[in-house]
Amino acid sequence: MIPFPDTDIYCITDSRQSLGRSNVDVVRLMLEAGARVIQYREKNLKAGQMLKECLEIRALTMERGVCFLVNDYLDIALLADADGAHIGQDDIPLSEARGLLGHKRVIGVSTHRWSEAEAAITGGADYIGVGPIFPTATKTATPPVGYAYLEEAAAKCPIPFVTIGGINENTIAGAVERGARCCAVVSAITMSEDIAGKMQLLRKLMSEARK
Question: Which positions are catalytic?
Answer: 41, 110, 139
Write a three-state SS string for 16-66.
Answer: HHCCCCCHHHHHHHHHHCCCCEEEECCCCCCHHHHHHHHHHHHHHHHHHCC
DSSP state of 5: P
Distance separating the N- and C-terminal Cα atoms of the chain: 34
Q: Which residues contact 2 (CB under 8 A, 6 or more apart)?
A: 65, 66, 67, 68, 83, 106
